[in-house]
């Protein structure tokens, strides 16, 4: 089933309908309805305020978002995360926050989220592989957490790491990437209001294949910057090592801002394929900073984006 692009997901899926569908499924004991489409019968709804930062483009379906994934800890095929992520233990979950902060420590997830205003952020999401989606994330601004732990004056970057647990993440039993998956942002990028820590999507707890229980979302950068299942956040002085850049620095830069004018060495970045748009939809033009130029272009004033790709 495909949606017209002039509708938002709430037009297409009234909340009451969505809730009753979910309730029905939970009542049926969470019987599987399409591989990986369910976060599980206990998936809790998250109350979230609407945000003016949301796009009015139509979100992809829950099925698209939860069955076409990149999460190499669970395998390299798009269906592997949905097939394998159920085994991941996400409760209890803690995040070690350290480096140049006033209040370092290992914080329980509930403590990380405590007091942060939870919003729905409907964002465009553009993968470096030239496909895209629109995702109704639930989360809060990373700046809220960073302000709470107190960023010290010498800190210029934020480094993130994903959990390492090969017993539950079959992809980690092979050296596909240099585990843990690592990502990083410059401090001003991390503090930007568009940058969120997402704890859910479509009004529910984050499905495991999408990076439960908490992941980064930076909508103006290629999707690989949006690191999943975060267990460590460090405030540091120097630009941190990041997974894809370590693997192939000529192809994946530290910044990785969506930029239709700077091609990947092996393919064009000028256009993208919207997942779920149907085979006759054709490709659409990729927008500078994924359409968020008005909000973020000033962060890069004076930088040569072909060099700092």
The least CB distance from residue 103 to ligand MTE, in Å, is 25
Cβ-closest position to ligand MTE: 223
Between 99 and 223, whose beta carbon lies closer to ligand MTE? 223
- Asked whether 122 and 107 are in contact (CB, 8 A), the reply is no
Between 192 and 228, whose beta carbon lies closer to ligand MTE? 228
What does DSSP assign to residue 193? T
Sign of the torsion angle spanned by Cα atoms 243, 244, 246, 252: negative
Between 9 and 151, whose beta carbon lies closer to ligand MTE? 9
The least CB distance from residue 44 to ligand MTE, in Å, is 19
Whole-angstrom distance, CA of residue 59 vs CA of residue 114: 28
Between 13 and 66, whose beta carbon lies closer to ligand MTE? 66
- Asked whether 162 and 155 are in contact (CB, 8 A), the reply is no
Can you say whether residue 222 is alpha, beta or left, with left for phi > 0 and alpha for psi between -120 and 50 degrees?
beta
Between 151 and 206, whose beta carbon lies closer to ligand MTE? 206
Could you identify the residue written with the tokens 């693997």?
Answer: 247
Positions that interact with ligand MTE (CB under 6 A): 69-73, 127, 162, 181, 210, 223-224, 226-229
- Asked whether 299 and 192 are in contact (CB, 8 A), the reply is yes
Q: Which helix (H) or strand (E) holds 37?
A: none
The least CB distance from residue 9 to ligand MTE, in Å, is 16
Between 6 and 266, whose beta carbon lies closer to ligand MTE? 266
What value does the CA radius of gyration of the chain take, rounded to a whole number of Å? 19
The least CB distance from residue 223 to ligand MTE, in Å, is 3
CA nearest neighbour of 81 among 187, 18, 178, 170? 170
């Amino acid at each position: 089933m495909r949606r017209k692009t002039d509708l938002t997901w709430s037009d297409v899926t009234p909340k009451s309908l969505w809730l009753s569908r979910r309730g029905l499924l939970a009542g049926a004991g969470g019987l599987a309805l399409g591989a990986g489409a369910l976060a599980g019968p206990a998936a809790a709804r998250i109350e979230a305020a609407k945000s003016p930062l949301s796009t009015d483009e139509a979100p992809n379906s829950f099925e698209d978002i939860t069955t076409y994934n990149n999460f190499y800890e669970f395998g390299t095929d798009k269906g592997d995360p949905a097939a394998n992520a159920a085994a991941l233990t996400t409760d209890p979950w803690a995040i070690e926050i350290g480096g140049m902060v006033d209040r370092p420590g290992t914080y329980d997830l509930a403590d990380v989220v405590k007091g942060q205003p939870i919003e729905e952020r409907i964002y465009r999401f553009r993968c470096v592989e030239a496909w895209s989606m629109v995702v109704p994330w639930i989360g809060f601004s990373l700046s809220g957490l960073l302000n709470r732990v107190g960023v010290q004056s010498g800190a210029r970057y934020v480094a993130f790491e994903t959990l390492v647990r090969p017993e539950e993440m079959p992809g980690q039993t092979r050296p596909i990437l240099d585990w843990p998956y690592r990502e990083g942002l410059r401090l001003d990028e991390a503090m930007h209001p568009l940058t969120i820590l997402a704890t859910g999507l479509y009004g529910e707890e984050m499905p495991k294949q999408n990076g439960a229980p908490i992941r980064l979302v930076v909508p103006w950068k290629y999707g690989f910057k949006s690191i999943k299942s975060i267990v460590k956040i460090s405030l540091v002085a120097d630009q941190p090592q990041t997974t894809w850049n370590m693997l192939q620095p000529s192809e994946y830069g530290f910044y990785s801002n969506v930029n239709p004018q700077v091609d990947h060495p092996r393919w064009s970045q000028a256009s993208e394929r919207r997942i779920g748009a149907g085979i006759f939809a054709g490709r659409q033009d990729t927008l500078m900073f994924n359409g968020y130029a008005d909000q973020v272009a000033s962060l890069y004033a004076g930088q040569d984006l072909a060099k700092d790709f």
